[in-house]
Structure 1
Amino acid sequence: MRDVDVTVNPEGIPVSFELEGRTWVVGAEPVRWYERRNWWETDRRMGRPGEARSIDVQVWQLQARLGRNPSSDLVTFEVIRDETGRWLVRAQS
């Protein structure tokens, strides 16, 4: 997975992102879902009762164009926002 800088609108929906020095603009309605993360692979323990710990991550499917060129092709990305708020690109097609 690669780190990505994501810009969101006031509702928290991604509108653009920068990946490897290139700016991508979201050109279709983003789709969001949640997945369980494999916390046992990264955390030493799940947490104490009553302790707030996230076991889900947001996954966004973003169809974006390179730059602000409306005639460029849409490319599909799967972007994860992890429990720390960091954004990562999981897949690109």
Structure 2
Amino acid sequence: MTATLNETTLDVPVDVRFTAAGTPLAVRYDGRVWAVAAEPVHWFDRDSWWATRRTAPVGVGNVVAVEHWRVQVRLTSTSALRTFELRRDPLSEQWLLESIADN
């Protein structure tokens, strides 16, 4: 799954439904539910807290780990696959759709 020239950067809030094992099952975006159609890729990176100047109360926990999922999704079993990159910032429960790429 590599990004193509047809990639759109968004950063919009989305709802993500997870399996019992904790992997994405579906993403609600733009009023439609996109089903995950391939094995998702999961990773973490570090927030540049010194640049964002975010502060957190003492004892909150991890405030620098940004969680990411790259999922291939489709609307129907016959529609084309698209790649959604999802991000959840530290101290947030809201998932953001960071980008969409056509495969």
Instruction: Tell me if both proteins adopt one fold, taking TM over 0.5 as the criterion.
Output: yes
Q: How does 1:5-44 map to 2 (within 5 A)?
A: 5-40=15-50, 41-43=52-54
Q: What is aligned with 1:62?
A: 71
Shift of 1:51: 5.3
Give the aligned CA root-mean-square deviation in angstroms: 1.8
Report deviation, 1:81: 1.9
Q: Counterpart of 2:62? A: 53
Preserved contact between residue 81 and residue 88 of structure 1 (Cα < 8 Å): yes
Q: Deviations for 1:7-51, whole angstroms, at most 9, x for unmatched residues?
A: 0011111100100101100000000011111223151x4665x65
Q: Is the 8 A contact 1:27 1:63 kept in 2?
A: yes
Identity of aligned residues (%): 36
- The yes-or-no answer on 1:85 pairing with 2:93 is yes
Give the number of equivalent residue pairs.
89
- Identify which of structures 1 and 2 has the higher relative contact order when contacts are C-alpha pairs closer than 8 Å and 6+ apart: 2
Divergent runs of 4+, >4 A? none
The TM-score, its normalising length taken from structure 2, stands at 0.77
CA distance in 1, matches of 2:22, 2:53: 26
Unaligned 5+ segments in structure 2 are 1-10
- For normalisation by structure 1, the TM-score amounts to 0.84
